[in-house]
Chain A
């Protein structure tokens, strides 16, 4: 991913000499390939094949645990067709249920019932896109932000507190609550960025630990009078005021809220930040090679801190999508597993804002579909986790996918491309 090649030279006051040299050097010498080879060996095809392979793995698991299949397996050699039919039935039922609960319910009576699954997908995709952008942004700066989970929690906590404690006019209340969410996430991300920049503390370790600290902090807060619902012993807050909630987009029968549009805005912002701004240029330069970036006069520590603050802010927005959008009340499970899913979203999106958008939509669809699949066919939603992680494993190792499908490949000159492909050139 030659993300630095197509960039205008940055007008950066501190770098009078050769600013863009350091990060680009490795990518310039790739020879021109024909279009067909590009498609065949390119990342796009690998992504599609990875998704396909993962669905196959999911299908194997579904078939393996289906009772009809196991009961026909005992007489497989006398009547193999029975088992094959059973496998086909179980897998197709599952995936049809997945499709009908995530895209369009073809058997629905009315139009709104038919598109309801699609709006569910967009609803669930919203926090995934926000948090995925945060993880992706940090990847591009060479930071591994495992901490989206904690940043979501902090964002949701602050936004929720503003939502159910303050009494503000309509409009302003929502803005203040969203800002509070941004600040909460930014603080939590910023801690990791600060410790990385000033103390050289490994961000992977710090963000993992901050995730757990956030969980216990939230549980503690939910046991204090400021947060806990009066008269309740459960770790659950009051619902946020209507004035602080994201308005619904299509009325009360759909959960989809305007947070989704905000997420699209965040995609555009992140794209602009990374590809069109001086700051983004510096960030990518640091991500490509921190030593070279430092030599070129870029403040590496500032890039680390800033990127983690922005990444945290984006994850904080994911928190607002949860608390001000779908959940409305603060509980221990407010972040679900969105923070961890966000890592897979960013990897699938190859740390590119547009890619992250589509990856978020795909995983949103898998989640929404998984819920429907569990309800209709009894297949546990955990299968979605399995499919998701297989997608990322396959995507992270393009040579593996190529060797499975025997796609000819221009052997990567630099073996490190495998790593780079996964993090979108963040290495």
Chain B
């Protein structure tokens, strides 16, 4: 099981797949480009989409951004088809696709779509800064969750239990936060709860060599069951005592917070919000610039080789999974100490799986996961906003987007997304 999960069929199969795969990306670009051409350019509502940058409450006032749907639709479609054509040329010449292509293509597609969809809305007017700031808020727990995935999967332990870690963190933060009235105690409790989930994962995966996907799936069910059980038995009975946690205050950095669009994102956050940026940087720096990171990646790619040079594979994996729990716990605390004022049954509602999706779409890289989670947070927030504005796109399709994009990514239709080579494989010293 574990082998078949982590390793692709070697030999000829890989070569065949590689040949097919190289045509997949240009074809996908072409199809999406044609969608843009038909939908956004030819299907343009011939209207204007208004993006309000400031809403009058800021010190700096910026005029609204008014974009014609027809112009943006055509410009976007032409750029996308151009990228698709260039991709065909590159593949034909037997060269690899440039690294910038996917991000640029995705950005252009998102902008073209956004202008088209706002232009088609009953109220073609949206507060852009709010839309983006809301996306960051929605994305923050996703980012913590996917960083947890990065930490554990880079060391070779598949982490399907992100959902359970987030939920355990949210629950512990709510109950301890309420009982002590202390934010710090709440966050620490969230970390402890999530680390406990991690430790079960680590012990079963590393000591008992149980398939990691099984443990992850079961842990999600277990945490959902436990938290719902205690929610019904303890929290509902006396919610003022057990389920009214304190909330983090927004810390506003003067002047900088007034910068249009970027101000609220970077300079008007809670401690956990600022912590998210720090966490992304630390995980990136740790993984790619330190000796520890090199070891982690070695263990995740080729544990035997790492063992040969004296790295304690299983100990390193264990502590990495624990660290993953710490990070996910903070993400869980975000649910009950920042976004929501109380805990609710299964309140993470599949966000752990969106975090998993972001991890994969971001190619197991903290920076990639950060941007992927942002994209998913944006699509989620946009689906809420669009419901209010009244648009032709059903909100369910917007909510489907993260999952669909991830399938495209793992199927190699938009670039290759490959797990660390030893991801999911237990290491047994011979």
On A, residues with C-beta under 8 Å from B are: 61, 65, 139, 142-144, 146, 195, 198-202, 204-206, 208-210, 212-213, 216-217, 219-220, 223, 287, 290-291, 294, 300, 340, 343-344, 347, 379-380, 382-386, 388-390, 392-393, 396-397, 399-400, 415-416, 418-420, 422-423, 426-427
**B412 and A396 within 8 A (CB):** no
Q: In the complex where A220-B396, A392-B218 touch, is A415 in contact with B404 (Cβ < 8 A)?
A: no
Interface stretch of the complex, out of B4-12, B127-135, B167-175:
B4-12
**B225 and A396 within 8 A (CB):** no
**A396 and B215 within 8 A (CB):** yes
**B411 and A206 within 8 A (CB):** yes
Interchain CA distance A427-B1 in the complex, whole Å:
3
Q: Does B384 contact A (CB under 8 A)?
A: no
Nearest Cβ in chain B — how far from A22, in angstroms?
A: 13
Prevailing SS type, chain A contact patch: helix
**B208 and A416 within 8 A (CB):** no
Interchain CA distance A284-B363 in the complex, whole Å:
32
Interchain CA distance A223-B219 in the complex, whole Å:
34
**A213 and B404 within 8 A (CB):** yes
Interchain CA distance A383-B232 in the complex, whole Å:
10
**A426 and B1 within 8 A (CB):** yes
Interchain CA distance A384-B222 in the complex, whole Å:
10
CB neighbours (8 Å) of B428 from chain A are 415-416
**A217 and B400 within 8 A (CB):** yes
Interchain CA distance A22-B357 in the complex, whole Å:
35
Which of B1, B17, B229, B403 is A419 in contact with, Cβ under 8 Å? B1
Beyond the given A340-B221, A385-B229, please list 20 additional residue pairs across the A-B interface where CB-CB is below 8 A. A142-B1, A201-B407, A206-B407, A209-B353, A212-B350, A213-B403, A213-B407, A219-B396, A290-B4, A294-B9, A344-B218, A380-B228, A380-B232, A382-B225, A382-B229, A386-B226, A389-B225, A393-B204, A396-B218, A400-B208
Q: In the complex where A144-B1, A397-B204, A423-B211 touch, is A382 in contact with B232 (Cβ < 8 A)?
A: yes
Interchain CA distance A420-B353 in the complex, whole Å:
26
Q: How many residues of B contact A (CB 8 A)?
A: 59
Interchain CA distance A198-B225 in the complex, whole Å:
37
Q: What are 12 pairs between A and B in contact, CB < 8 Å? A: A199-B21, A204-B158, A216-B400, A217-B396, A219-B396, A290-B9, A340-B217, A385-B225, A388-B225, A393-B204, A419-B426, A420-B1
What is the count of residue pairs linking A and B with beta-carbon distances less than 8 angstroms? 178
Most buried by A among B407, B413, B428: B407
Which of A199, A204, A422 is B210 in contact with, Cβ under 8 Å? A422
Interchain CA distance A206-B8 in the complex, whole Å:
15
Nearest Cβ in chain A — how far from B411, in angstroms?
A: 4
**B404 and A209 within 8 A (CB):** yes
Q: Does B251 contact A (CB under 8 A)?
A: no
CB neighbours (8 Å) of B232 from chain A are 380, 382
**B213 and A213 within 8 A (CB):** no
Interchain CA distance A419-B222 in the complex, whole Å:
20
**A386 and B5 within 8 A (CB):** no
